[in-house]
Amino acid sequence: MMARRHNGEGTIFPYRNGWAAQVWVTTPEGRRKRKTVYGSTREVVHEKWLNLQEQARRGPVSSRVPRVEEYAQRWLREVVDPNLAPSTAANYELFTRLYINPGLGKKRIDRLNVRDVRLWVNDLRDRCQCCAQGKDAAREKPRCCATGRCCRQVGSEWTVHQAWTVLRSMLSEAMREELVPRNVAALVRVPVPRARRQSVWTVEEARRFLEAARATDDPLYAAYVLLLILGLRRGELLGLAWEDVDLDAGEARIGWQLQRLNGELVRRKTKTAASDSALPLPLLCITALEHRRRHIAELRLAAGPAWGDSGLVVTTRLGDAVDPRNFQRAFRSMTRRAGVPTIPVHATRRTCASLLVALDVHPRVAMAILRHSKIAVTMDVYSQVSSASTREALKRLGEAFG
Protein backbone atom coordinates (compact mmCIF):
# COMPACT_ATOMS: atom_id res chain seq x y z
CA MET A 1 0.00 0.00 0.00
CA MET A 2 1.40 3.42 -0.99
CA ALA A 3 2.32 5.62 1.98
CA ARG A 4 0.23 8.73 2.39
CA ARG A 5 1.79 11.82 0.84
CA HIS A 6 2.71 14.72 3.08
CA ASN A 7 1.35 18.24 2.72
CA GLY A 8 2.72 20.02 -0.35
CA GLU A 9 4.01 16.88 -2.09
CA GLY A 10 1.27 17.15 -4.72
CA THR A 11 -0.51 14.39 -6.57
CA ILE A 12 -0.35 12.16 -9.68
CA PHE A 13 -3.53 11.47 -11.64
CA PRO A 14 -4.76 10.30 -15.09
CA TYR A 15 -5.12 13.17 -17.54
CA ARG A 16 -6.65 12.93 -21.03
CA ASN A 17 -4.55 10.34 -22.94
CA GLY A 18 -1.78 10.22 -20.36
CA TRP A 19 -0.90 11.29 -16.83
CA ALA A 20 -0.27 14.53 -14.95
CA ALA A 21 1.26 15.52 -11.64
CA GLN A 22 1.05 18.64 -9.50
CA VAL A 23 3.41 19.99 -6.84
CA TRP A 24 3.04 23.07 -4.68
CA VAL A 25 6.01 25.40 -5.28
CA THR A 26 7.13 28.84 -4.14
CA THR A 27 7.54 31.21 -7.12
CA PRO A 28 10.41 33.73 -7.41
CA GLU A 29 7.83 36.38 -6.41
CA GLY A 30 7.25 34.55 -3.08
CA ARG A 31 3.77 33.17 -3.85
CA ARG A 32 2.62 29.55 -3.40
CA LYS A 33 1.31 27.98 -6.61
CA ARG A 34 0.67 24.55 -8.08
CA LYS A 35 2.93 23.55 -10.95
CA THR A 36 1.80 20.79 -13.30
CA VAL A 37 3.87 18.36 -15.38
CA TYR A 38 2.56 15.92 -18.02
CA GLY A 39 3.60 12.64 -19.60
CA SER A 40 2.34 9.69 -21.61
CA THR A 41 2.90 7.11 -18.82
CA ARG A 42 2.71 7.14 -15.06
CA GLU A 43 6.41 6.24 -14.78
CA VAL A 44 7.46 9.26 -16.86
CA VAL A 45 5.24 11.60 -14.86
CA HIS A 46 6.43 10.07 -11.58
CA GLU A 47 10.04 10.88 -12.54
CA LYS A 48 9.08 14.46 -13.42
CA TRP A 49 7.14 14.71 -10.19
CA LEU A 50 10.18 13.68 -8.14
CA ASN A 51 12.43 16.15 -9.99
CA LEU A 52 9.92 18.95 -9.42
CA GLN A 53 9.75 18.16 -5.71
CA GLU A 54 13.55 18.33 -5.54
CA GLN A 55 13.54 21.73 -7.29
CA ALA A 56 10.89 22.98 -4.86
CA ARG A 57 13.04 21.91 -1.90
CA ARG A 58 16.11 23.71 -3.28
CA GLY A 59 14.45 27.08 -3.80
CA PRO A 60 11.93 29.14 -5.77
CA VAL A 61 10.44 27.56 -8.90
CA SER A 62 8.72 29.45 -11.67
CA SER A 63 5.14 28.22 -12.04
CA ARG A 64 5.15 29.14 -15.74
CA VAL A 65 8.02 28.71 -18.16
CA PRO A 66 8.44 32.00 -20.07
CA ARG A 67 8.88 32.46 -23.78
CA VAL A 68 12.30 33.52 -25.05
CA GLU A 69 11.28 37.17 -25.52
CA GLU A 70 9.75 37.32 -22.01
CA TYR A 71 12.84 35.86 -20.39
CA ALA A 72 15.12 38.08 -22.50
CA GLN A 73 13.39 41.20 -21.19
CA ARG A 74 13.87 40.10 -17.58
CA TRP A 75 17.46 38.98 -18.22
CA LEU A 76 18.39 42.35 -19.72
CA ARG A 77 16.78 44.21 -16.81
CA GLU A 78 18.00 42.08 -13.89
CA VAL A 79 21.33 40.65 -15.08
CA VAL A 80 22.79 42.63 -17.97
CA ASP A 81 22.01 46.25 -17.01
CA PRO A 82 23.30 46.06 -13.38
CA ASN A 83 26.49 44.12 -14.17
CA LEU A 84 27.80 45.23 -17.57
CA ALA A 85 29.02 48.55 -18.92
CA PRO A 86 26.19 50.70 -20.36
CA SER A 87 27.55 50.46 -23.90
CA THR A 88 27.77 46.65 -23.64
CA ALA A 89 24.27 46.45 -22.18
CA ALA A 90 22.95 48.62 -25.02
CA ASN A 91 24.65 46.29 -27.51
CA TYR A 92 23.03 43.22 -25.89
CA GLU A 93 19.62 44.92 -26.02
CA LEU A 94 20.07 45.78 -29.70
CA PHE A 95 20.98 42.22 -30.75
CA THR A 96 18.15 40.80 -28.63
CA ARG A 97 15.57 43.18 -30.13
CA LEU A 98 16.67 42.99 -33.78
CA TYR A 99 17.86 39.39 -34.16
CA ILE A 100 16.89 37.05 -31.30
CA ASN A 101 13.28 38.04 -30.57
CA PRO A 102 12.09 38.14 -34.21
CA GLY A 103 13.42 34.62 -34.87
CA LEU A 104 13.07 32.80 -31.54
CA GLY A 105 11.06 35.10 -29.25
CA LYS A 106 7.73 33.24 -29.45
CA LYS A 107 9.19 29.86 -28.42
CA ARG A 108 8.99 28.64 -24.86
CA ILE A 109 12.52 28.76 -23.51
CA ASP A 110 12.50 25.17 -22.23
CA ARG A 111 11.31 23.88 -25.62
CA LEU A 112 14.09 25.58 -27.57
CA ASN A 113 16.27 22.89 -29.15
CA VAL A 114 19.54 22.66 -31.07
CA ARG A 115 17.81 22.49 -34.45
CA ASP A 116 15.83 25.67 -33.70
CA VAL A 117 19.05 27.56 -32.98
CA ARG A 118 20.85 26.11 -36.02
CA LEU A 119 18.01 27.11 -38.37
CA TRP A 120 17.92 30.58 -36.77
CA VAL A 121 21.65 31.04 -37.36
CA ASN A 122 21.32 29.91 -40.98
CA ASP A 123 18.37 32.27 -41.45
CA LEU A 124 20.45 35.21 -40.19
CA ARG A 125 23.05 34.41 -42.84
CA ASP A 126 20.48 34.16 -45.65
CA ARG A 127 17.67 36.61 -44.87
CA CYS A 128 17.84 40.25 -45.96
CA GLN A 129 17.87 42.25 -42.73
CA CYS A 130 16.64 45.35 -44.53
CA CYS A 131 13.41 43.45 -45.29
CA ALA A 132 13.24 41.72 -41.88
CA GLN A 133 13.70 44.92 -39.88
CA GLY A 134 11.78 47.20 -42.23
CA LYS A 135 14.73 49.55 -42.69
CA ASP A 136 13.77 50.73 -46.16
CA ALA A 137 10.07 51.00 -45.29
CA ALA A 138 10.99 53.40 -42.46
CA ARG A 139 12.71 55.82 -44.84
CA GLU A 140 10.89 58.87 -46.14
CA LYS A 141 11.80 57.84 -49.67
CA PRO A 142 12.15 54.04 -49.95
CA ARG A 143 14.82 53.02 -52.41
CA CYS A 144 15.19 49.22 -52.32
CA CYS A 145 13.27 46.52 -50.42
CA ALA A 146 10.06 48.50 -49.89
CA THR A 147 9.91 49.19 -53.64
CA GLY A 148 10.22 45.51 -54.57
CA ARG A 149 13.99 45.49 -55.28
CA CYS A 150 15.56 43.53 -52.42
CA CYS A 151 19.04 44.81 -51.56
CA ARG A 152 20.07 41.45 -49.98
CA GLN A 153 21.54 43.06 -46.89
CA VAL A 154 22.27 39.78 -45.11
CA GLY A 155 23.94 39.65 -41.71
CA SER A 156 27.73 39.65 -41.73
CA GLU A 157 29.68 36.83 -40.08
CA TRP A 158 30.45 39.18 -37.20
CA THR A 159 26.75 40.05 -36.76
CA VAL A 160 25.72 36.39 -36.79
CA HIS A 161 28.43 35.46 -34.30
CA GLN A 162 27.55 38.34 -31.98
CA ALA A 163 23.81 37.50 -32.02
CA TRP A 164 24.63 33.86 -31.24
CA THR A 165 26.96 34.97 -28.41
CA VAL A 166 24.18 37.03 -26.80
CA LEU A 167 21.73 34.11 -27.06
CA ARG A 168 24.30 31.72 -25.55
CA SER A 169 24.90 34.12 -22.65
CA MET A 170 21.15 34.43 -22.02
CA LEU A 171 20.62 30.64 -22.01
CA SER A 172 23.56 30.21 -19.63
CA GLU A 173 21.71 32.39 -17.13
CA ALA A 174 18.51 30.40 -17.75
CA MET A 175 20.48 27.23 -16.89
CA ARG A 176 21.65 28.79 -13.63
CA GLU A 177 18.01 29.54 -12.84
CA GLU A 178 17.17 25.91 -13.77
CA LEU A 179 14.63 26.95 -16.40
CA VAL A 180 16.41 24.85 -19.04
CA PRO A 181 18.39 21.62 -18.57
CA ARG A 182 21.14 22.58 -21.04
CA ASN A 183 22.38 25.47 -23.16
CA VAL A 184 21.30 24.49 -26.67
CA ALA A 185 23.01 27.53 -28.22
CA ALA A 186 26.38 26.33 -26.92
CA LEU A 187 25.84 23.05 -28.80
CA VAL A 188 25.59 24.85 -32.16
CA ARG A 189 28.93 25.52 -33.82
CA VAL A 190 29.28 29.06 -35.12
CA PRO A 191 32.74 29.86 -36.55
CA VAL A 192 34.57 32.86 -35.13
CA PRO A 193 34.86 35.52 -37.86
CA ARG A 194 38.36 36.21 -39.07
CA ALA A 195 39.38 39.68 -37.96
CA ARG A 196 40.21 41.99 -40.83
CA ARG A 197 43.69 43.44 -40.66
CA GLN A 198 43.47 47.16 -39.97
CA SER A 199 45.50 49.67 -41.92
CA VAL A 200 47.98 51.64 -39.85
CA TRP A 201 50.16 54.64 -40.57
CA THR A 202 53.89 54.52 -40.91
CA VAL A 203 56.06 56.84 -38.82
CA GLU A 204 56.31 59.20 -41.80
CA GLU A 205 52.53 59.26 -42.37
CA ALA A 206 51.83 59.92 -38.68
CA ARG A 207 54.34 62.79 -38.70
CA ARG A 208 52.79 64.26 -41.86
CA PHE A 209 49.34 64.13 -40.27
CA LEU A 210 50.44 65.96 -37.11
CA GLU A 211 52.45 68.53 -39.05
CA ALA A 212 49.44 69.27 -41.27
CA ALA A 213 47.17 69.67 -38.22
CA ARG A 214 49.68 72.03 -36.59
CA ALA A 215 50.26 74.04 -39.79
CA THR A 216 46.52 74.62 -40.24
CA ASP A 217 46.11 75.47 -36.55
CA ASP A 218 43.50 72.73 -36.19
CA PRO A 219 41.69 73.17 -32.83
CA LEU A 220 41.95 69.40 -32.30
CA TYR A 221 45.73 69.28 -32.81
CA ALA A 222 46.38 68.44 -29.13
CA ALA A 223 43.79 65.65 -29.33
CA TYR A 224 45.55 64.14 -32.35
CA VAL A 225 48.90 64.26 -30.55
CA LEU A 226 47.47 62.38 -27.54
CA LEU A 227 45.86 59.81 -29.83
CA LEU A 228 49.07 58.95 -31.65
CA ILE A 229 51.66 59.40 -28.90
CA LEU A 230 49.77 57.89 -25.95
CA GLY A 231 47.54 55.51 -27.91
CA LEU A 232 44.37 56.73 -26.19
CA ARG A 233 40.99 55.32 -27.11
CA ARG A 234 38.52 57.81 -28.55
CA GLY A 235 36.29 57.73 -25.46
CA GLU A 236 39.28 58.15 -23.13
CA LEU A 237 40.52 61.14 -25.10
CA LEU A 238 37.13 62.89 -25.16
CA GLY A 239 36.59 62.14 -21.45
CA LEU A 240 39.98 63.50 -20.33
CA ALA A 241 39.54 66.48 -17.98
CA TRP A 242 42.07 69.15 -17.02
CA GLU A 243 41.92 68.00 -13.40
CA ASP A 244 43.43 64.71 -14.58
CA VAL A 245 46.36 66.45 -16.30
CA ASP A 246 49.43 67.71 -14.39
CA LEU A 247 51.63 69.58 -16.86
CA ASP A 248 54.20 70.50 -14.19
CA ALA A 249 54.72 66.85 -13.29
CA GLY A 250 54.33 65.83 -16.95
CA GLU A 251 51.62 63.28 -16.21
CA ALA A 252 48.03 62.46 -17.22
CA ARG A 253 45.69 60.06 -15.41
CA ILE A 254 43.43 58.10 -17.73
CA GLY A 255 40.37 57.03 -15.75
CA TRP A 256 37.31 58.35 -17.56
CA GLN A 257 35.67 57.95 -20.94
CA LEU A 258 32.95 59.76 -22.87
CA GLN A 259 30.26 57.74 -24.64
CA ARG A 260 26.92 58.35 -26.30
CA LEU A 261 24.29 56.20 -24.60
CA ASN A 262 20.57 56.34 -25.39
CA GLY A 263 21.03 59.62 -27.22
CA GLU A 264 22.97 61.35 -24.40
CA LEU A 265 26.67 62.00 -23.83
CA VAL A 266 27.78 60.26 -20.64
CA ARG A 267 31.16 60.54 -18.89
CA ARG A 268 31.86 57.35 -16.96
CA LYS A 269 34.72 55.37 -15.45
CA THR A 270 36.88 53.27 -17.75
CA LYS A 271 35.92 49.62 -18.02
CA THR A 272 38.95 47.97 -16.38
CA ALA A 273 41.55 48.82 -13.77
CA ALA A 274 44.26 48.36 -16.42
CA SER A 275 42.78 51.30 -18.35
CA ASP A 276 42.81 53.49 -15.24
CA SER A 277 46.45 54.53 -15.01
CA ALA A 278 48.83 57.49 -14.96
CA LEU A 279 50.89 58.05 -18.09
CA PRO A 280 54.01 60.22 -18.35
CA LEU A 281 53.65 62.96 -20.95
CA PRO A 282 56.41 63.36 -23.55
CA LEU A 283 57.50 66.92 -24.35
CA LEU A 284 55.43 66.96 -27.56
CA CYS A 285 52.24 66.21 -25.57
CA ILE A 286 53.05 68.85 -22.93
CA THR A 287 53.66 71.50 -25.59
CA ALA A 288 50.43 70.62 -27.39
CA LEU A 289 48.42 70.70 -24.14
CA GLU A 290 49.87 74.08 -23.13
CA HIS A 291 48.84 75.45 -26.53
CA ARG A 292 45.39 73.90 -26.05
CA ARG A 293 44.99 75.54 -22.63
CA ARG A 294 45.76 78.97 -24.09
CA HIS A 295 43.29 78.32 -26.91
CA ILE A 296 40.55 77.38 -24.43
CA ALA A 297 41.14 80.61 -22.51
CA GLU A 298 40.57 82.53 -25.76
CA LEU A 299 37.43 80.55 -26.54
CA ARG A 300 36.04 81.12 -23.04
CA LEU A 301 36.60 84.86 -23.37
CA ALA A 302 34.89 84.93 -26.79
CA ALA A 303 31.92 82.81 -25.67
CA GLY A 304 31.20 84.78 -22.50
CA PRO A 305 28.06 83.56 -20.67
CA ALA A 306 27.48 80.88 -23.34
CA TRP A 307 30.63 78.99 -22.25
CA GLY A 308 29.75 75.42 -21.23
CA ASP A 309 32.67 74.89 -18.82
CA SER A 310 32.71 71.09 -19.06
CA GLY A 311 36.25 71.00 -17.69
CA LEU A 312 37.34 68.70 -20.51
CA VAL A 313 40.53 69.00 -22.55
CA VAL A 314 38.77 68.41 -25.88
CA THR A 315 35.72 70.65 -26.25
CA THR A 316 33.63 72.47 -28.78
CA ARG A 317 34.17 76.22 -29.23
CA LEU A 318 31.49 76.75 -26.55
CA GLY A 319 33.21 74.50 -24.00
CA ASP A 320 30.87 71.51 -24.30
CA ALA A 321 31.87 67.88 -24.73
CA VAL A 322 32.62 66.78 -28.30
CA ASP A 323 30.30 64.14 -29.71
CA PRO A 324 32.34 61.01 -30.62
CA ARG A 325 30.78 60.89 -34.09
CA ASN A 326 31.67 64.53 -34.74
CA PHE A 327 35.24 63.82 -33.65
CA GLN A 328 35.35 60.90 -36.10
CA ARG A 329 34.23 63.22 -38.93
CA ALA A 330 36.80 65.88 -38.01
CA PHE A 331 39.55 63.25 -37.88
CA ARG A 332 38.57 61.88 -41.31
CA SER A 333 38.51 65.38 -42.77
CA MET A 334 41.99 66.08 -41.38
CA THR A 335 43.41 62.89 -42.90
CA ARG A 336 42.21 64.02 -46.33
CA ARG A 337 43.78 67.46 -45.90
CA ALA A 338 47.04 65.88 -44.76
CA GLY A 339 47.11 63.56 -47.76
CA VAL A 340 47.54 60.37 -45.70
CA PRO A 341 45.53 57.13 -45.94
CA THR A 342 42.12 57.36 -44.23
CA ILE A 343 41.91 55.10 -41.18
CA PRO A 344 39.33 54.91 -38.35
CA VAL A 345 40.15 56.71 -35.11
CA HIS A 346 40.61 53.43 -33.24
CA ALA A 347 43.33 52.41 -35.71
CA THR A 348 45.55 55.14 -34.22
CA ARG A 349 46.07 52.80 -31.22
CA ARG A 350 47.48 50.18 -33.56
CA THR A 351 49.55 52.88 -35.24
CA CYS A 352 50.96 53.80 -31.80
CA ALA A 353 51.71 50.12 -31.19
CA SER A 354 53.44 49.82 -34.57
CA LEU A 355 55.62 52.81 -33.70
CA LEU A 356 56.56 51.09 -30.45
CA VAL A 357 57.47 47.95 -32.41
CA ALA A 358 59.63 50.04 -34.76
CA LEU A 359 61.42 51.51 -31.72
CA ASP A 360 62.06 48.01 -30.29
CA VAL A 361 60.10 48.81 -27.11
CA HIS A 362 59.71 45.76 -24.86
CA PRO A 363 56.17 44.27 -25.02
CA ARG A 364 55.68 44.70 -21.24
CA VAL A 365 56.43 48.41 -21.56
CA ALA A 366 54.12 48.68 -24.57
CA MET A 367 51.41 46.89 -22.56
CA ALA A 368 51.68 49.58 -19.85
CA ILE A 369 51.56 52.40 -22.42
CA LEU A 370 48.57 50.98 -24.30
CA ARG A 371 46.90 49.86 -21.03
CA HIS A 372 46.01 46.40 -22.25
CA SER A 373 44.52 44.15 -19.56
CA LYS A 374 46.33 41.07 -20.95
CA ILE A 375 49.80 40.67 -22.43
CA ALA A 376 48.25 38.41 -25.10
CA VAL A 377 46.54 41.44 -26.63
CA THR A 378 49.85 43.29 -26.83
CA MET A 379 51.64 40.28 -28.28
CA ASP A 380 48.94 39.99 -30.95
CA VAL A 381 49.80 43.54 -32.03
CA TYR A 382 53.52 42.79 -31.89
CA SER A 383 53.02 39.71 -34.06
CA GLN A 384 51.50 41.87 -36.82
CA VAL A 385 54.54 43.94 -37.64
CA SER A 386 54.67 45.92 -40.87
CA SER A 387 55.64 44.29 -44.14
CA ALA A 388 58.72 46.53 -44.29
CA SER A 389 59.91 45.13 -40.96
CA THR A 390 59.22 41.59 -42.17
CA ARG A 391 61.24 42.13 -45.35
CA GLU A 392 64.13 43.61 -43.37
CA ALA A 393 64.12 40.68 -40.91
CA LEU A 394 64.12 38.10 -43.74
CA LYS A 395 66.91 40.01 -45.50
CA ARG A 396 69.04 39.90 -42.34
CA LEU A 397 68.25 36.19 -41.91
CA GLY A 398 69.36 35.48 -45.47
CA GLU A 399 72.58 37.43 -44.94
CA ALA A 400 73.22 35.54 -41.71
CA PHE A 401 73.12 32.23 -43.61
CA GLY A 402 75.49 33.67 -46.24
CA distances for 181 relative to 59, 78, 101, 304, angstroms: 16, 21, 21, 65
pLDDT band for position 254 (cuts 50, 70, 90):
confident
Beta sheet of 251-254, edge-to-edge order: 245-246, 251-254, 277-280
State the DSSP code for 200: -
Q: Which of 102-111, 356-365, 367-376 is the most confident on average? A: 102-111
CA distances for 172 relative to 5, 83, 183, angstroms: 35, 15, 6
Neighbours of 263 (CB within 10 A): 5
Looking at residue 230, its pLDDT comes to 82
Question: For the ranges 27-36, 149-158, 185-194, 367-376, which has the lowest average pLDDT?
Answer: 367-376
User: Which whole number is the average pLDDT over 224-236?
Assistant: 87
Q: What is the pLDDT of residues 133-172, one digit of tens each?
A: 888 788 888 888 888 888 888 888 999 999 999 999 999 9
Looking at residue 146, its pLDDT comes to 82
User: Which whole number is the average pLDDT over 345-359?
Assistant: 74
**395/128: higher pLDDT:** 128
pTM for this one?
Answer: 0.69
Q: Over pLDDT 90: what percentage of the chain?
A: 33
Looking at residue 229, its pLDDT comes to 82
Sign of CA dihedral 386, 391, 392, 398: positive
pLDDT at 373 over 90: no
User: Which whole number is the average pLDDT over 114-134?
Assistant: 90
Average pLDDT value over all residues in the chain = 83
Residues 114, 104 contacting (CB under 8 angstroms) = no
User: Which whole number is the average pLDDT over 185-195?
Assistant: 87
Looking at residue 141, its pLDDT comes to 86
Distance CA 153, CA 128 (A): 5
Max Cα separation, the chain?
A: 98
pLDDT band for position 402 (cuts 50, 70, 90):
very low
pLDDT at 6 over 60: no
pLDDT band for position 1 (cuts 50, 70, 90):
very low
Looking at residue 3, its pLDDT comes to 47
CA distances for 11 relative to 43, 45, 72, 112, 312, angstroms: 13, 10, 33, 28, 68
For 391, phi then psi, to 5°, come to -60, -40
Q: Which amino acid is at 371?
A: R
Q: How far apart are the first and last CA of the chain?
A: 95
User: Which whole number is the average pLDDT over 199-212?
Assistant: 85
Burial 1-25 (b: 16+ CB within 10 A, else e): eeeeeeeeebebeeeeeebbbbbbb
pLDDT at 394 over 90: no
User: Which whole number is the average pLDDT over 343-369?
Assistant: 71
Distance CA 36, CA 52 (A): 9
